[in-house]
Amino acid sequence: MSTADLQSQPQAQPALTATAASSGTRSSAPAPEPRDTRADELQAAVDADAEAPGSWAARGQTPVTILIPTKNEQSNIVECVRRLRWAEQVALVDSGSTDDTLPLAQAMGAEVYWFDFKHHSPTGWPKKRNWALETLPLRHEWVMFMDADEHMTPELAAEVHGVVTGAHTPEVAGCGDGYWVNRKLIFLGRWIKRCGYYPSWNLRLFKHKLGRFERMTTAGDTGSGDMEVHEHITLSTGDAGRLKHDFLHYAYDSISSWVEKHNRYSSWEAHVALDGVAQGIDAKLTGSAAQRRRWVKKAASKLPCRPTLRFLYHYVVERGFLDGRPGWVLCRLLAFYEFMSVAKLYELKRSPDATNPPTSQG
pLDDT tens per residue across all 362 residues of the chain = 555 455 444 444 333 333 333 333 334 547 899 999 999 999 999 999 999 999 999 999 999 999 999 999 999 999 999 999 999 999 999 999 999 999 999 999 999 999 886 666 655 666 889 999 999 999 999 999 999 999 999 999 999 999 999 999 999 999 999 999 999 999 999 999 999 999 999 999 999 999 998 876 665 555 556 666 667 899 999 999 999 999 999 988 899 999 998 998 898 888 888 876 655 666 666 766 666 666 677 777 778 899 999 999 999 999 999 999 999 999 999 999 999 999 999 999 987 565 454 444 44
| Residues 75, 137 contacting (CB under 8 angstroms) | no
Burial of 141 from C-beta contacts in 10 A (0-12 / 13-18 / 19+) = middle
| Residues 114, 44 contacting (CB under 8 angstroms) | no
Find out whether the peptide bond into 32 is cis, omega within 30 degrees of 0: no
| Residues 207, 177 contacting (CB under 8 angstroms) | yes
**52 residue type, one letter:** A
| DSSP symbol at 60 | T
pTM of the model: 0.83
| Residues 178, 241 contacting (CB under 8 angstroms) | yes
Distance CA 204, CA 235 (A): 11
**Which of 349, 73, 110, 332 minimizes the C-alpha distance to 227?**
73
Indicate left, alpha or beta for 87 from its phi (over 0: left) and psi (-120 to 50: alpha): beta
Distance CA 345, CA 350 (A): 9
Beta-sheet pairing, 142-145 with 62-70: parallel
Indicate the domain borders of the chain.
Answer: 3-253, 262-350
